[in-house]
Amino acid sequence: MNEDNLDRILKSEEDLVPSSGFVAAVMERVREEAAAPAPIPFPWKRLVPGIVLAAGLLSWCGVELMRLGLQDLRAVAPTQLHLSTAFTGTVGQTGWVTLALGVSMATWLLSRRMVGRSGLL
């Protein structure tokens, strides 16, 4: 097929005309969307204090962990490293909290994946 045949075929086709009522249905839908109220904005003013509090708490925990570690390092000779039970207990508790957060996140991601496949989202 050469370009002349293709041009002739394309010129011979009729113009596309929308079916009756299509333009009216589309315009009605556009008017409905324009008249719909604006979506509810996300409550950032409520979220910001929580983020600030969480960041402060994490910072405080880091400072306390470093303070406990530095106290232990000052008390011990440089050749020998011994951690106090307060420091190791804090580290052990941190491990359990991390494990709990990891399990919570894994179950949340699994449930989101299952719901997403079912089409509920």
- The domains of the chain are located at 44-118
**Distance (Å, whole) CA 82 – CA 95:** 20
Looking at residue 121, its pLDDT comes to 47
| Residue type, position 13, single letter | E
Contact 87, 68 (CB under 8 A): yes
Residue 47 burial class via C-beta count within 10 angstroms: exposed 0-12, middle 13-18, buried 19 and up: exposed
Q: Are 69 and 87 in contact (CB under 8 A)?
A: yes
pTM of the shown model: 0.33
Tens of each residue's pLDDT in the chain, 121 residues: 678 888 888 777 777 777 888 989 999 999 999 999 888 888 888 888 889 999 999 998 888 888 777 666 666 555 555 656 666 666 667 778 888 899 999 898 888 887 776 555 4
Q: How far, CA to CA in Å, does 24 sit from each of 21, 32, 56?
A: 5, 12, 57
pLDDT score for 95: 76
